[in-house]
Amino acid sequence: MCNLYNITTNQEAIRAFANAARDIIGNMEPSLDVYPDRMAPIVRNAPDGVRELASVRWGMPSSSQALYEAATKRADKLRAKGKDVDFDRLLKHEPDGGTTNVRNTASRHWTRWLGVENRCVVPLTRFAEPNPAAKVEGGRTPNAWFAGDTSEPLLFFAGIWVKDWTSVRKVKEGLITADYYAFLTCPPNAVVGPVHPKAMPVILTTQDEVEAWLTLPWPEAKSLQRSLPDDRLVLLDAAAE
């Protein structure tokens, strides 16, 4: 799954492409590598109905079931050491690293955030997937980078976001309340599949697609959760050879 992408563009281009009427991010870096749990620009349908460019933290809340299971394992370890456990408090403070990619949109955990009010698009110019085939024995797994073409045009992930979610993202932070986002995935196309056979991000390449994702009811918008046609994506490593 995609856990790294790059944005090399400017705010004006993002606002124009996504028809964002408001910009609240301040000055954006001209080139930004985005990792999980970092702040990054998105274009969202704000609560007051205005479409805005905002800076939001990457990683939607994990499911309550996943957090319950993690807290249960931690409680069992503490009890094994003879310690008393206040499970309700433990569960409330269970660290949630967040979910960066959303595949199963039929899950009850995600259906509450599929309405227009929780839709967003996430600008990118290229994204990475680990490439096990290029790994050197004993070394780290290098990334393969993908883009719309070798000029790395502005694209958008189809995403969802949530406002004012309270959780523990990092133990040292404790309970915090913040906005979060993630983007949808789908089966890989023939360009991504050889590197990452499980999934690829849902990518929007035109203004019409961005508009549809941000405005259509879910039954119609769901059709955009599809693999990008092969001719709209390149493997930059291969293109450079």
List pLDDT tens digits, range 81-140. Answer: 777 777 777 667 777 788 999 999 999 999 999 999 999 999 999 999 998 887 776 678
pTM, two decimal places: 0.90
Interstrand relation of 234-235 and 143-147 (parallel, antiparallel or unpaired): antiparallel
Tokens representing 124 are 């990118």
pLDDT surpassing 80 at residue 3: yes
Answer yes or no: are the C-beta atoms of 51 and 20 closer than 8 Å.
Answer: yes
Q: Which residues contact 18 (CB under 8 A, 6 or more apart)?
A: 43, 51, 53, 121, 123, 156, 207, 210, 214
Among 37-46, 49-58, 63-72, 223-232, which is the least confidently predicted range? 63-72
A 10 A CB-CB count for 101 gives 20
Q: Which residues contact 73 (CB under 8 A, 6 or more apart)?
A: none
Q: Does residue 72 sit within a domain? A: no
Q: Does residue 47 sit within a domain? A: yes
Distance CA 239, CA 232 (A): 13
Q: Does residue 86 sit within a domain? A: no
Res 67: pLDDT: 65
Q: Is 114 helix (H, G, I), strand (E, B) or coil?
A: coil
pLDDT in tens, 157-209: 999 999 999 998 888 888 999 999 999 999 999 999 999 999 999 999 999 99
Q: Does residue 77 sit within a domain? A: no
Q: Does residue 78 sit within a domain? A: no
Query: Which residue has better confidence, 37 or 136?
Result: 37
Q: Does residue 90 sit within a domain? A: no
The count of structural domains within the chain is: 1
State the CATH number of the domain containing residue 161.
Answer: 3.90.1680.20
What mean pLDDT is reported for the chain?
91
Q: Does residue 135 sit within a domain? A: yes
Res 240: pLDDT: 40
Which residue has tokens 């905002």? 54
- Give the residue numbers spanning the domain of 111: 5-61+96-240
Q: Does residue 104 sit within a domain? A: yes
